[in-house]
Chain A
């Protein structure tokens, strides 16, 4: 069964360092998303991506964040200069369409710890 994969499963970094979280969406999907969950809080939308450009971003997704689909398979989230408050679980998701009932398939997440 096709699945979304994410690497690494856990990333520890120092404050101010750049991190890149990687995702491989399901191969025939066209819509891609990043969400995050700070420990003890709800899962929050960060950004959606379609046709090689951002289609929507939340207020969390400031200039420190960027997304890229560098090739036909990977979808990355970069945080340029990490802050302590970026520590969270980051989930990648993909969908075959943006229709109202289209299911998003989620990866297992990357736990980012900023020290």
Chain B
């Protein structure tokens, strides 16, 4: 069965520092992986997705993620954090079957300090 685990429920970085949010997946089939961001009082917004085309995926707002099959990981990075990046980030994997449902991780709250 598919699942994702996000390591670290809270991550705090200084403005301008590297952002690294960790996600490990478990899947019996080649996974389709997603990162979503949720700003306060807003819905989940897609940052990027991995659908087997390329292992390094670039998303919006300067974020990118690298799919590493050997490590079963799909970590999210951004070279330089901005105050506006403070939000909750969710890693998700497409579930089994044909309905397109998503299976989410616990979420990671990113705090950016000035």
Contacts and interface: CB of A to CB of B under 8 A. Distances in A.
Interface of A: 3-4, 6, 9, 31, 33, 35, 41-45, 48, 50, 55-56, 91, 93, 95, 97-109
A109 B36 CA distance: 14
B102 A45 contact: yes
Contacts of A33: 100-101
Contacts of B45: 106
Contacts of B106: 41-42
B90 A103 contact: no
Contacts of B41: 9, 108
Interface residues of B, number: 26
Contact of B99 (A55, A105, A107): A55
Nearest to B49: A101
B94 A100 contact: yes
Contact of A43 (B46, B90, B99): B90
Interface of B: 32, 34, 36, 41-46, 49, 51, 90, 92, 94-95, 97-107
Nearest to B41: A108
Nearest to A46: B101
Contacts of A48: 99-101
Shortest 9 CB-CB contacts between residues of A and residues of B:
A101-B51, A106-B43, A106-B44, A43-B104, A98-B100, A56-B99, A48-B99, A108-B43, A45-B101
Contacts of B32: 100-101
A45 B106 CA distance: 13
A45 B43 contact: no
